[in-house]
A and B are shown apart, each in its own frame.
Chain A
Amino acid sequence: MSTQASSLTNTTIGKKMVMAVSGLVLFGFVIGHMLGNLQVFLGPDAINGYSHTLHATPVLIWGARSVLLVAIVAHATTAISLARLNRAARPVAYAVKKDIATDYAAKTMFWSGLTIALYIAYHLAHLTFGMTKGLGYQHLPFDANGLPDVYHNLVQSFRVPWCTALYVVAQGALSMHLYHGAWSLFQTLGVNHKRYNETLRSSAVAVAMAVCVGFLAVPLAVLFGVVK
């Protein structure tokens, strides 16, 4: 038994736990990223200074990047392996099948995840690597104080309608993904109890929605000229 027992991740439940733990890491990152973005309301110095602090501390930025990279790779590869397994488990589809308990978010986890993955690739190219050719503005690596000019790049990007449109679509996918995932991960990790299940589920949904609102606040602020 010892050879079998040493491989939790070989079981479907173990694979789901990989999804849950890596998902939790990415969820944590998303909250951090949102709080970072919201500093745009404190003005250019705050957000540019924040970016500078991150970049000036290699342990911080490269530590975070390595953890995120591991989490993304684990999340994506396990998702693909589970999706294949689930597809193979029902070779002949139902002609008529009604859903009773599940919802759109739960059924489209793979596709919302894929949408987010594609957006991340574009997002890195756009802002991290500064590829802004054809967007009608100049990507500025640094501001007048020599700090990374996050503020300028962010505000200019949100003035490009299709950049904002892509951002909104990605946020839609992200909130749907979290709507199911933020609750689901607790059930998968066995953190459940009859007495707290309702609270756990509604808090997970509330946090997911808060993330959505937090991220969408920035382009709205640019649109209405609150942030210039």
Chain B
Amino acid sequence: MKFKLNVWRQENAKSAGRFEKYDIDGITSGHSFLEMLDVLNEKLVMQGKDPIAFDHDCREGICGSCSLVVNGRAHGPQEAATTCQLHMRKFRDGEEINVEPWRAGAFPVIRDLAVDRSSLDRIIQAGGYVSVRTGAVAEANAIPISKDVADRAMDAAACIGCGACVAACPNASAMLFTAAKVRHLNLLPQGQPERDMRTIKMVEQMDAEGFGACSNHLECEAACPKQISADFIGELNRDLATAMLRARGASGNASAGG
């Protein structure tokens, strides 16, 4: 198969980027999108040119590293899949393909198609943890959790932190990511002690990173390779409101507000 690629090239976060056109031939329908870029990069290296930088690691859809906007869609045209799971058979022979990085102020470009997503890590650091007793491993059934709750928490925990929700959102909002991470722990009994603090701190960190606000476009849900439901966003909103009310009540009793 042959393709005409239109790829974003950018030296670093400070320089201005531009699109470069590449013609590539000899690709099979079995090549994954990233393998196609590997083939192109080998050619570029042979020609003494800079290869195209892009993030990748596991190449089986679980690490959340790959991050390409292909033909205007985060992770490309295939539903419920990451870029590494996308194969060239999804494209027409000779098709022109546009490749861009995740675009958000909170995701500065490192080089070409690779962006810095440590803003998501900082949201996790702000409250994405639970307190546990150290020592011997607790008996697995010591804390009963109903199947409904376990399933729901698992649905939220499926988030691989790739940032496709941010990339797809018209406002570059990280609400689906934050909602999934907050709700995953807030649903479980182990997450209750830090529940309110977690919700408030993770939301505040999300805002501090400069992500946009949620306008309920639902583009995030449609782009998510793990099909995480935007219902979690509504639940995060509810958790934040109750957390703030409770925190306000607590501080009001202690120090008459403020």
Closest to B251 in A: A2
Chain A window 93-106, contacts with chain B (Cβ cutoff 8 Å), 1 for yes, 0 for no: 11111111110001
Inter-chain contact B71/A102, CB cutoff 8 Å:
no
Q: Which of A86, A92, A102 contacts B219 (CB 8 A)?
A: A102
- Residues in B whose Cβ lies below 8 Å from that of A96: 69, 71-72, 98, 100
A13 & B217 in contact (Cβ 8 Å cutoff) = no
Interface contacts (Cβ under 8 Å), in number, total 160
B213 touches A102 (CB 8 A): no
Rounded to whole Å, the gap between the CB of B112 and the closest CB of chain A is 14
Inter-chain contact A4/B200, CB cutoff 8 Å: yes
- Whether the Cβ atoms of B214 and A16 lie closer than 8 Å is yes
Give the complex CA separation of A191 and B222 in angstroms: 21
Given contacts A2-B254, A8-B240, A13-B214, 5 further A-B contacts (CB under 8 A): A2-B250, A2-B258, A13-B240, A16-B237, A107-B170
| A95-B203 in contact given A89-B173, A192-B231 (Cβ < 8 Å) | no
A149 to B230, CA, bound (A): 50
**0 or 1 for each of B87-107: is its CB under 8 Å from A? (1 = yes):** 000000000001010011110
B63 to chain A, nearest CB (A): 24
In the bound complex, residues from chain A placing their C-beta under 8 Å from that of B236 are: 13, 190
The answer to whether A5 and B251 have CB atoms under 8 Å apart is yes
Q: Which of A5, A107, A180, A197 contacts B231 (CB 8 A)?
A: A197
Most buried by A among B8, B106, B219, B237: B237
- A156 on the B face (CB < 8 A): no
| Per-residue interface assignment for chain B, residues 31 to 66, with 1 indicating a CB less than 8 Å from any chain A CB and 0 otherwise | 000000000000000000000000000000000000
In angstroms, Cα B230 to Cα A106, docked, is 16
Bound-state CA distance A189–B217 (Å) is 15
Partner of A90, one of B6, B72, B203, B212: B212
The one of A85, A183, A189, A192 in contact with B213, judged by C-beta atoms closer than 8 angstroms, is A85
CB of B153 closer than 8 Å to a CB of A:
no
Is there a chain A Cβ closer than 8 Å to B73's Cβ?
A: yes
Q: Is A11 an interface residue (CB 8 A)?
A: yes
Q: Is A3 located at the chain interface by the 8 A CB criterion? A: yes
Q: A6 contacts which chain B residues (CB < 8 A)?
A: 244, 247-248, 251, 257-258
Q: Which of A71-94 contact B (CB under 8 A)?
A: 82, 85-86, 88-94
Which residues does chain B contribute within 8 Å of A194, judged by CB atoms?
229, 231
Given A13-B203, A88-B210, A106-B216, A8 and B237 touching (CB < 8 A)?
Answer: no
CB within 8 Å for A102 and B170 given contacts A86-B215, A89-B104? yes
CB closest chain-A residue, reference B106: A89
Interface check A187, CB cutoff 8 A: yes
Complex interface: chain B residues within 8 A of A100 (CB): 73, 168, 219, 222-223
**A99 to chain B: which residues have CB within 8 Å?**
217, 219
Contact B241 A86 (CB under 8 A): no
Do the beta carbons of A101 and B222 come within 8 Å of each other?
Answer: yes
Docked Cα-Cα span, A183 to B218, in Å, equals: 12
Taking CB atoms, residues of chain B closer than 8 Å to A94 are 69, 72, 100, 103
* A59 CA to B69 CA, complexed, in Å: 57
